[in-house]
Structures are given as C-alpha cells and as structure tokens.
Amino acid sequence: AQSVSQHNHHVILSEAASLELGCNYSYGGTVNLFWYVQYPGQHLQLLLKYFSGDPLVKGIKGFEAEFIKSKFSFNLRKPSVQWSDTAEYFCAVITADRGSTLGRLYFGRGTQLTVWP
C-alpha cells in the first residue's frame, strides 16, 4: 500500500511568519498530488493540486506547493500566515499509472496549524 508522511503533527506560528509543511509519499510511479484543508467546524476543502506540468502550483489564499519528483515530496508553503489559516492540513496522493486503483486518495495523518494573532 502507498503511504504519505507528514512530518509535523502540530505547528504553532505567529502571524506573518512563513510556513512550510512537509509531505513525502512512497509511490515510485506517476502520482497526482493534493493538499486539503479543514478549518474548525468545516469539511475538507481542496487547497491546491498537481497533475502535470509546472511543479510549482499555486492554490487559494496565497498557498503554494512544489512537487520534487526526485525527493518524492510535495511541500506546502505560504510566505506570511494569518490567524485565519488556523486549520488542519492534509497531504494526499492518487497513484495515476494505468491499472492503479481508480481515484482513491491516500492521505497523510494531517498537520494541525495554529496561528497566534
């Protein structure tokens, strides 16, 4: 089975600090990559996704992520966080080779981000 690792379980930052959340996956073939966010009391929402092309992808609310194939990584970044970014962030992967399981997402265990005003 594929695995997705998120290195930080809980990150605490002050407003305006820079953010980088790590994500590594184990699959050696073609992948589609996602970051989902869950704000307090809300459901999972897509933050950004990578399917192909430019490995640096930009998402909503100023977030971006970089796919580095050689490192099996898809780290999430934001130059300056806000209090409203407090949420849980999940990295997820779909294996995209022919014959791979259709569309199922493999999730990391999540990183809780707390931003102090």
**Three-class secondary structure assignment of the chain:** CCCEECCCCEEEEECCCCEEECCEECCCCCEEEEEEEECCCCCCEEEEEECCCCCEEECHHHCEEEEEHHHCEEEEEECCCCHHHCEEEEEEEEECCCCCCCCCCEECCCEEEEEEC
Choosing from 13, 19, 65, 94, the residue that interacts with other proteins (CB under 8 A) is 94
**By CB under 8 A, is residue 101 in contact with other proteins?**
yes
Min dist CB 44 to other proteins, Å, is 4
Q: Is 97 in the site for other proteins (CB under 8 A)?
A: yes
Question: For binding to other proteins (CB under 8 A), which residues are involved?
Answer: 4, 6, 30, 32, 34, 36, 42-46, 49, 51, 90, 92, 94-97, 100-110
